[in-house]
Homo-oligomer: A and B are copies of this chain.
């Protein structure tokens, strides 16, 4: 595909060497590009919003899972983080993070790791069932902060706000425990991800804040320091004013993706990751381009396009300094294990040659990053992802 700026340089020119050495020329295989500038702007945007609203930001690190990206947060003042598994907690604890919330009902089969973490960091765990609190009470060797997860409408997991008997029994047990410190109530509004109406997202957010405060108020007299924590990128992106909560835990905003753009959480220009996939075959009879980039690279989330078609990614033009907004008339329409199929207009089909790189914005950046196991910055620097470290 033609470069956007095709400045002619004679091979004796010093600039010629620079150009030959540009980053794209060094990419030979399917690669996840990360635009550090966009990423840092996303980090800045949410940090500034939290400060302006006088709320603590405890960003979810499950999206990037990278020690180096974590440092960009640290430089912007982040001290407490959220993760989604004990293994991820260990990874970031090993990289100097000492205030970590594991935002999934804790896996009590792995008490050895729970105790290993509790010994060295301020560990926050989440529970939904009294059996979990009982197991922790019996087996914890070090103090831990315990949050009750409330189901405010997503219906994946959590205690229903009106389950008073269950809540009271769990809190009674917490009150007796010398290791568990009842810290607060939290929720994850995963149902915002299914909306594309920002008003619906506001309603979900306000409902959740209302319900979490109801639950907190029930126990406030006995636990005056109880916190309320929420965490989802759509609400935290769309709302400018956030009140009624002590803490927010968005994560995906570090990269954003096509799903978030579709919801209305971000503009295309804020998406900080892009796949670079080599063209390996062309089919002129149906204007389809085959790239090396399948479900082992992207994972398999999809979006429904305006015409009802299923989209696995949108194509952008790669340049030496980043990428364009999505091109019209060209989309990833299918993924198998290693192949991606791109359907294009005739004009765009003709612009891509065998061996070219196609830029593709991912539908779900968390899963794509987990599948790709590492990042390449626009200057060629490699950053790690937990999944590529063998840990």
Contacts and interface: CB of A to CB of B under 8 A. Distances in A.
Interface string A97-114: 000000011111110110
Interface string A347-391: 000000111010000000011001101000000000000011110
A124 to B, nearest CB: 16
Interface residues of A, number: 60
A303 interface: no
A135 B281 CA distance: 13
A325 to B, nearest CB: 25
B156 A107 contact: no
A320 interface: no
Contacts of A390: 388-390
B337 A366 contact: yes
Given A295-B299, A295-B367, A300-B299, A131 B355 contact: yes
B62 A109 contact: no
A292 B373 contact: no
A132 interface: yes
A10 interface: no
A282 B129 contact: yes
Contact of A160 (B105, B285, B338, B373): B285
A128 interface: yes
Interface in A18-33: 27-29
A341 B107 contact: no
A157 interface: yes
A62 B338 contact: yes
A190 interface: yes
Interface string A109-133: 1101100000000000000110110
Nearest to A111: B28
Given A300-B301, A336-B190, A290 B156 contact: yes
Contacts of A112: 28
Given A135-B354, A135-B355, A280 B336 contact: no
A62 B160 CA distance: 44
Interface string A80-110: 0000111100000000000000001111111
Interface string A284-319: 011000101001100111000000000000000000
B354 A108 contact: yes
Contacts of A283: 157
Contact of A28 (B109, B131, B190): B109
A336 B108 contact: no
A334 interface: yes
A339 interface: yes
Given A131-B355, A157-B280, 5 more contacts: A27-B109, A29-B107, A105-B290, A108-B280, A295-B299
A84 B337 contact: yes
Given A290-B156, A337-B62, A389-B390, A107 B280 contact: yes
B278 A107 contact: yes
Contacts of A338: 62, 84-85, 104
Nearest to A88: B338
Contact of A129 (B108, B281, B341, B387): B281
A367 B79 CA distance: 36
B157 A290 contact: yes
Contact of A367 (B106, B286, B296, B341): B296
Contacts of A109: 27-29, 278, 355, 357
Contacts of A300: 295, 299-301, 367
